[in-house]
A and B are shown apart, each in its own frame.
Chain A
Amino acid sequence: MVKSRSSVKITPYLMTVPMVVLFFILHTYPFLKGVFYSFTNWRGYGGWKFVGLKNYLYVFTNAEVTHSYLFTLKFAIFATVLVNVLSLAIALGLNGKIKFKNTLKAVYFLPYILGTLIIGFVFNFIFGTILPDIGQSLHIGFLSENILGGAHAWLGILFVTVWQSMAFNTLIYLSGLQTVDTEIYEAAELDGTTPWQRFYKITFPLIAPFFTINLVLSVKNFLMVFDQIIAMTNGGPGNLTTSISVLIYKRGFQGAQFAVQSANAVVLFIVIASISLFQLRVLEKREEKIQ
């Protein structure tokens, strides 16, 4: 190996340093500032003083915060499982020899291009007007009322979230499936394996890295669920669909609890970071085992 001269090395830095600077100014610095303010009593304006861990104590003892954590966890678990099972199924289908493959791909990818707020408003109309009309004319009890205005409002949000999030995960699974050598399948077929065996013993292990990234990204995204809820229920009815992010936004900015909700945001960050790290360790071990 020849020792690389400095003139050769400068290009990667030119490409990464501006991004690092921007990322630090726009992301890391505000985050650190938020951590700082979580130890004060700042209302978002005016003066402040240090209050130690008082805000964290509030976050851990407040029933509203606990409720929103439970709701968010429930939502994230359901959404992650549904999104990954469904998008893997769709990806397998799209990877097979079928007609209209590209059209179908476009159809499945469409929800991802639309903005979440727009989708939220569209489904607000569907849940609020179209479905109840159909339900009433067909005399189907559960359809004749706006699901977003009932105790099961979260199912409406879950449906829309899953429908929209599937697109991206399908794409990742699809690119994973395309890395699998088709000759392996042909060989397996000659050995007389069933399709289920081929999936479970060949496909699934071979796309393990893609499974890892999908799972980590899904959990992170769904723990931070915000737009869909704001667009469809605004956290209601009552506080049934108030996720952590929605609570932070509502109380922090509208309710002048900036410091308290900064503490809440720090806790959320720690929760998400530890879940993600845990997932990565477990899933990477699994990947290693397969290799």
Chain B
Amino acid sequence: MKKILTITATLLAGLALAACSSNKSASSGKKTVEFYSTKQENVSTYKGLIKEFESKNKDIKVKLVAPADGGTVLKTRLTKNDIPDVLAMGGDFNFVDVTKADVLADLSDRPYAKRALPAYTKMLKQYYSGNKMLGMPLAANVSGVMYNKDLFKRAGINKTPETWDEFIQDMKQLQSKGIQPLAFPFKDSWTAMGIWNQIAGNELPASFIGKRKDNKTSFQKTHKESAEKFAQLLPFGQKDIVGLSYNDSNKLFAQGKVAMLINGNFVIPELVKNNKDINVSMFKLPVSSDAAKNKVTSGVDVLLAKSKQTKNNAACDKLISFLTDKENEKKYIDEQFALPTVKGVEQSNARLAGVVADAQAGNIVDYPDHLYPSGFDMAGLLQQFALNYKDGMKTSEIINTFLKNADNKFDSANVEE
């Protein structure tokens, strides 16, 4: 009995000591700014930039926090009203949730606010009401078609397609030369969104979701054409259409066994990892048959936001200003293979050449699923779509089932508020 007491006492003492030591660091003379990132892929870039920032601002210490599943961790911190000083997060449903909690400062009067490309700041403003600027975009991602230039040349295609009909025509051309035009990694259902977002984003205005939430419109009334275009692509993929995983499709492309993948710019590093000589480039998915109407699907991959309650307001502003100045923005997008969201900075990587110009000119549409309710599993519906196609169901029936299910599932996900 005595022994147990001793052990317990020792354990408690240890805990108390640990608690003391964690409080200590706050008492040094420097101001500490907590920089919270919901992404982990770009931590090495942040570390380099922060080191430079700290050497220029000796009185500020930046504490970088980037936990796994950062979006969820951030939400649990919101419940305790424990907001990091500076937030770096995606312009997605997590950001929508944070803006609803009303904890972010308005940045529109800050000097760095003017640096941002207007198309992206406008996009972020759709996520909340009011004319504030709650997020300063740092980097954008972009969707499109990754294509193997060598295979295109072998099939005698010299120019990337600019309309839907040209796109279909080119795929037939590839097929006639014995080249598989597309691979669909639908085993991982999220990849279907890479296609759907581009089609629906171009076909429908962003205001659709707001109207749908108020039950003023429906998928059945508006998304028939988008679904038809999705269906038109399926015959150009592999036969076992739901059996291929994301990694396996990347391997197929890297081995030159398939000419195109439809997804985002983040796929390219994976392709290069599999085959460093792969001759890959990107073009936007030409959804419309009018070339002038086609837009690039691009969203804010990282935005910087500032807490309303921060004690080190000036230091936070300094950090955001530092990260979004031209030189550091360039460093970020080069290392992370991203698109710039700051005026006067260019992504010159040849592999992105086909989509960069449109994005730079603001000729962009947002990912529709950024505004979907978070429990709405559109990816699963598209996977079912592909499975029905594989099982030989009639196209019109597939589309009707899909649209009806989309409406049902939207209603069952849209329970809150």
> Is the CB–CB distance between B243 and A150 below 8 Å?
yes
* List of A residues within 8 angstroms of B231 by Cβ: none
Known: A46-B101, A128-B187, A145-B243. A251 touches B416 (CB 8 A): no
* List of B residues within 8 angstroms of A14 by Cβ: 1, 4
A179 to B134, CA, bound (A): 71
B179: Cβ under 8 A from any A Cβ: no
Known: A45-B79, A129-B248, A237-B383. A149 touches B241 (CB 8 A): yes
A44 to B248, CA, bound (A): 35
B31-67 Cβ-contact flags toward A at 8 Å (1 or 0): 0000000000000000000000000000000000000
A62 to B413, CA, bound (A): 10
- Using CB atoms, name the residue of chain B closest to A234: B189
Known: A64-B409, A237-B242. A46 touches B187 (CB 8 A): no
> Is the CB–CB distance between A254 and B374 below 8 Å?
yes
* List of B residues within 8 angstroms of A44 by Cβ: 75-76
* List of B residues within 8 angstroms of A129 by Cβ: 248
- Using CB atoms, name the residue of chain A closest to B241: A149
* List of B residues within 8 angstroms of A149 by Cβ: 186-187, 240-244, 387
A151: Cβ under 8 A from any B Cβ: yes
Range for the number of chain B residues in contact with chain A: 35 or more
> Is the CB–CB distance between A237 and B78 below 8 Å?
no
Known: A64-B409, A237-B242. A257 touches B187 (CB 8 A): no
> Is the CB–CB distance between B76 and A45 below 8 Å?
yes
- Using CB atoms, name the residue of chain A closest to B412: A62
B14 to chain A, nearest CB (A): 18
* List of A residues within 8 angstroms of B412 by Cβ: 58, 62-64
A73 to B100, CA, bound (A): 39
> Is the CB–CB distance between B384 and A145 below 8 Å?
no
Known: A146-B240, A151-B387, A236-B187. 20 other contacts (CB 8 A): A44-B76, A45-B101, A63-B412, A64-B412, A128-B244, A128-B248, A129-B248, A132-B240, A145-B239, A145-B240, A146-B242, A149-B240, A149-B244, A236-B189, A236-B383, A238-B381, A253-B72, A256-B374, A257-B375, A260-B415
Chain B residues near A (Cβ < 8 Å): 1, 4, 72, 75-76, 78-79, 97, 100-101, 186-189, 239-245, 248, 373-377, 380-381, 383-384, 386-387, 390-391, 408-409, 412-413, 415-416
**13 A-B residue pairings within 8 Å (CB atoms):** A46-B100, A58-B415, A124-B245, A128-B243, A128-B245, A128-B248, A132-B243, A145-B239, A148-B187, A239-B380, A253-B72, A255-B373, A257-B416
Closest 10 CB pairs of A and B: A255-B375, A146-B243, A238-B384, A149-B243, A149-B242, A145-B240, A45-B75, A237-B387, A45-B79, A237-B383
